[in-house]
Structure 1
Amino acid sequence: MRNKSLTPISCWFLLALLFIALNMRAPFTSLSPLLDEISHSLSLSATQAGLLTTLPLIAFALFSPFASALARRLGLEVTIMLGLVLISVGVMVRAMSAIPALFSGTLLLGIGIAVANVLLPGLLKRDHARHAASLTALYVLIMSVGAALGSSVVIPLARLAEQSMAASVPGWSVALLWSLPLSLCAALIWLPRLWASRRATVQPTSGQGIGPLLRSKVAWQITLFLGLNSFINYVFVSWFAVMAMDLGFSAEKAGIYHGLMQLAGAAPALVMVPLMAKVKNVRFIAAIMIMATLVGVAGLMMMSSLALFWALLLGVGQGGAFILGLSMISLRSDSPEQATALSGMAQCLGYLLAATGPVVIGYLYETSQDWDSALSLMLGVILVWGYCGLMACKPVSESVENVSATA
């Protein structure tokens, strides 16, 4: 039988990957710009508004481990389609301009995105193992584009809806539907893959849960690398604008710097799409991303007047490291089943850490009334994260075994 991992990458598969990636961040990044309007319209408390923004992260953490188990039972194609359906239903439900619908819809799309997050590394390992690293960089790039698109279009759409529909429907409700065509197109483009998988003869597999991976040092290195990367990233996504204003920058400049930091996170993918296919030892790339993040934090502490430059370094370091972490899931796994299980383990812990990071840093800031203690803690976290990253990105030839190696 022909090895599927060596088959050419079809244009249809690339199109499907593109549309799935567009749905992996855009539906929930588009919520933040509308949060004030939604809170005023539905009389949400500050606590409710905060929970609404963290609900997708909680869904990612809680449901990531179940995605691999579901895929072993139903198959990758069917489970990915289920995730796309959940995203579509969630987008429609949360636009119903009622508090229960807003929260339940956000939870549903969070579960759907969690499924796609976990299963894509396993899919690439199974069907295109030779190109897994480059395809990972590509879909992270598209994911970042979708996130930026979501943040930029919802306010104009809300204003247009308010003008054309008067007061019959809230403008934010219409604007939140902007990503529905993306999820529906992704599901339609995925249908041929789904039908092909249902017609194919099902091969029995032993599958793999997370249990055996808990005894693997390589699995823990990758998990901690991705987990601490999420911790660092969401700390600065949540607090950088406040930091910049406390350092003396205007609210407008702080907002621009914050946006440029996130945009810089997509920049490494432009280089890494072709680079990952050629570089055998990615440890050097990992070292650059770790150093960029470390220098960015140290720079904020010592030369705050250059906050824009440090923001760009932080964005590049975190964006590139995220691509590397996802790539290692495929490169260091022995099978698609193992890659899917490792993805579930890494993303479960990763988003748990991501959800706690902003709270911990916020507490340190509130108690000390400055950013020194918070940034000092971040330097320590980065050192641990950097060590895990260098170990996780060790060339396979230098490692006795892949993820199957036990501690």
Structure 2
Amino acid sequence: MTDSSSKIARPVLVGLGMMLVAFNMRPALTTVGPLLEAIRKDTGLTASGAAFLTTLPVLCLGLACVLGPVIVRRTGAERGVLIAILIIAFGSGLRGLGGLPPLFAGACIAAGGIGLAGVMLPGLVKRDFSENAGLMTGLYTMVLCLGAATGAGAAVPLADALSGWTWALASWAVPAVVAALAWIALVPKQENGPPPPRRSSLWRDPLAWQVTGFMGLQSSLAYITFGWLPVVLQSRGLSAVEAGFVASVMSIGQAPSALLVPAFAARLSDQRGIAIALLALAAASFLALVHGPVGLVLPLGIGLGLGLGGLFGLALTIVVLRSRDVTSAAGLSAMSQAVGYSIAALGPLGFGFAHDVFGGWSVSAGLFCAIALASGVFALGAGRDRKVGTSLTA
């Protein structure tokens, strides 16, 4: 292969590899919700314990993001992604041992791998696809949403086919191993030049905090939905299979907006309006799923998916758009996801506790809307046409 053809082929291969990695960045999280009632029945897990099961992985995801820039500097982005996907595979497989300790440990380990991969992918987009950042962000976000949908929809059928929830959860190690094997070919045999220079900290930059707040709060909406929507729907009379199907349809509904919103938002100088519209769609759809007619759960699930998928794709796009270069993209990605996912972890926990304390789902649904409102406040700052670090010395 000539040098020119190699330069053309490598970004294509990196893009395909990113899609395989992205597919594995949600099933470890979305497969638990549809099986939560079966897990509780089999293990005696309380509602509060279930809230922690949906919260701890998100918290671990956020904490792992802190390590992302360190790993990139020491190993390079490609090796870092390989490490991340192997961690996802290990954590997913660990859940097959059965019992609560392997379930909690495996979920947290897999979430740590997801956090590492999530920090590194925006940097690869900025490095290899800077002129098509919106399109590439949309593509891998769409595939990520399809992975989430596949996990949610296949959870109960896999549990039936494999005689229990343990093997159904552990089976998601297989696609992660496939992605790792494919990604190995992209890891350079030696470092590609010196590590990127350090930049001044973004922790004193108001715009970086606004991006972080938007990332975290919109993510909280998604993790509440992943963890609790199937339980809410079962409480309204749907079977576990039906609730899992609605959750899967909701995740599939994320795909088109996750693809189209980043590409559209990247063409705009200001993303505030689209952020507010998507937040309103998500909040209204969730309220209707909790209180509206049961016969409309499928179209309402699609509406919720469109809102959440668009928000996630928009948040990732804003990280790239607000960054000046590859280094600031990695730093902003790490900060927004590390702090943001730590904030997001409180959403599922608060949602479950509100249900325990007040009974029913009205107060929990009100909490969902309050988080959406707070996310909108941060979006008003994060969506402006500015760059992080402009007030800081390099």
Q: Identify the TM-score tier after normalising by the shorter chain.
A: 0.7 to 0.9
The equivalent of 1:345 in structure 2 is 335
Q: Secondary structure at the match of 1:24?
A: coil
Q: Is the 8 A contact 2:135 2:263 kept in 1?
A: yes
Q: Which one is further off, 199-208 or 224-233?
A: 199-208
Question: How far does the alpha carbon of each residue in 1:242-267 deviate from its partner, in whole angstroms, 9 at most, with x for none?
Answer: 66677xx5334766655443332233
Q: 1:133 to 1:271 in 2, by over 3 A?
A: closer
Q: Match for residue 172 of structure 2?
A: 179
Q: Provide the aligned C-alpha RMSD in A.
A: 3.3
Counterpart position of 1:168 = none
- CA spacing shift, 1:296–1:131, aligned 2, 3 Å: same
Distance 1:182-1:238 versus aligned 2 partners, 3 A rule: closer
Q: Measure, in 2, the Cα distance between the counterparts of 1:329 and 1:250.
A: 40
- 1:16 lines up with 2:17 in the alignment: yes
CA-CA distance at 1:351 after TM superposition: 1.9
Query: Residue type of the partner of 1:58?
Result: L
2:308 to 318, 323, 339: 318
Q: Does 1:143 align with 2:144?
A: yes
- Shift in alpha-carbon separation, 1:264–1:367, aligned structure 2, 3 A: same
Alpha-carbon separation, structure 1, partners of 2:41 and 2:364? 32
Amino acid at match of 1:402: V
Structure 2 portions without partners, runs of 5+: none
Q: Match for residue 129 of structure 1?
A: 130
Q: Normalising by the residue count of structure 1, what TM-score does the alignment of the two structures yield?
A: 0.81
Q: Deviations over 1:271-307 (max 9, x none)?
A: 3365356555444432431332354467679x83486
Matched, 1:188 2:189: no
Equivalent pair of 1:260/1:311 in contact (CA under 8 Å)? yes
Q: How many aligned residue pairs are there?
A: 382
The amino acid of 2:193's aligned partner reads V
Q: State whether structure 2 residue 345 is matched by structure 1 residue 358.
A: no
Structure 1's 276 and 12: CA in aligned 2 closer, same or farther, altered over 3 A?
farther
Letter in 2 for 1:72: R
Deviation at 1:44, TM superposition (A): 4.7
TM-fit CA distance, 1:27: 2.6
Q: Is the 2:65–2:119 Cα contact (8 Å) retained in structure 1?
A: yes
Say if 1:55 and 1:107, in contact at 8 Å, map to a contact too: yes
- In the alignment, does 2:394 pair up with 1:402? no
Aligned to 1:78: 79
Give 1:332's match in structure 2, choosing from 322, 325, 330: 322
Query: Is the contact made by 1:223 and 1:349 (CA closer than 8 Å) also made in structure 2?
Result: yes
Corresponding residue for residue 167 of structure 1: none
Cα pair 1:207 1:338 within 8 Å, conserved: no
Structure 2 SS opposite 1:215 = coil
Q: Which structure 1 segments of 5+ residues have no match?
A: 163-170
CA, structure 1 residues 391+373, in 2 after alignment: closer, same or farther (shift >3 Å)? same
AA of the residue aligned to 1:232: L
Structure 2 SS opposite 1:250: coil
Give the TM-score of the pair, scaled to structure 2: 0.83
Give 1:30-179 correspondences, 5 Å limit: 30-39=31-40, 43-46=43-46, 48-162=49-163, 171-179=164-172
Q: Which has the larger radius of gyration?
A: 1
2:190 corresponds to which residue? 199
* Percent identical residues: 29
SS in structure 2 of the partner of residue 266 of structure 1: helix
Once residues 294 and 125 of structure 1 are traced to their aligned partners in structure 2, the CA distance between those partners, rounded to angstroms, is 31
Residues 218 and 405 in structure 1, CA contact (< 8 A), matched pair in contact too = no
* Cα 1:37/1:312, change in 2 over 3 Å: closer
The offset of 1:92, in angstroms, is: 2.6
Match of 2:374 among 384, 388, 399: 384
After TM superposition, the structure 1 = structure 2 runs for residues 198-237 of structure 1, keeping only pairs within 5 Å, are: 198-208=189-199, 212-237=201-226
Q: Aligned AA for 1:45?
A: L
In 2, Cα distance between the equivalents of 1:241 and 1:294? 17
Distance 1:34 1:299 in 2: 23
SS at match of 1:225: helix
Structure 1 CA distance for aligned equivalents of residues 373 and 86 of structure 2: 40
